[in-house]
Chain A
Amino acid sequence: MPLLGKRITEEILVQQLVQGSRDAFCALFKIYHPKVMGLCIGVLKSQIEAEDMTQDIFIKLWDERAKLIHVNHLSAYIFRMSKNRLLNHLESKQVRINHLQSYKITEIEKETPHDLLVASDLQLLVDMVVEQMPDQRRVVYKMSREQGLSNSEIAEKIGVTKKTVENHINSALKALRSVIKTIITLFFC
Chain B
Amino acid sequence: VTAAHWIPHSGVAGLAWPALPPAPGQRTLAIQFQLDRSQWLEPDAIASQQFRQLRYLVKHAQERVPHYRDHLRRSTISGPDAIDAQSFLRWPVLSKPDIQQGGDSLLARGLPEHHGGAHWVTTSGSTGQPVRVANSNSGAFFQHALLLRSHLWFELDPRGKFAIIRATSPKAVNRDWGIPANTAFHTGPSVILSAFEDHRAQLNWLRSEAPACLQAHNTNLRALMATSLRENLVPASIRTVIGFADMPPPDIRAQILAHWNARYFETYSCSEIGTLALQCPRHDHMHVQSEHVLLEILRPDGSPCAPGEIGRVVVTDLHNFAMPLIRYELGDQAALGPPCPCGRGLPVLQLIAGRTSDLAIDPTGRTFFAHLNMGFWATVAPITQRQIVQLAPDRLEIRYVAERDLTTDEIAGLVREIRAAMRYEYAINCVRVPNIRPGPGAKFVDFVSMIRG
B partners with A: no
B interface residues, Cβ below 8 angstroms from A: none
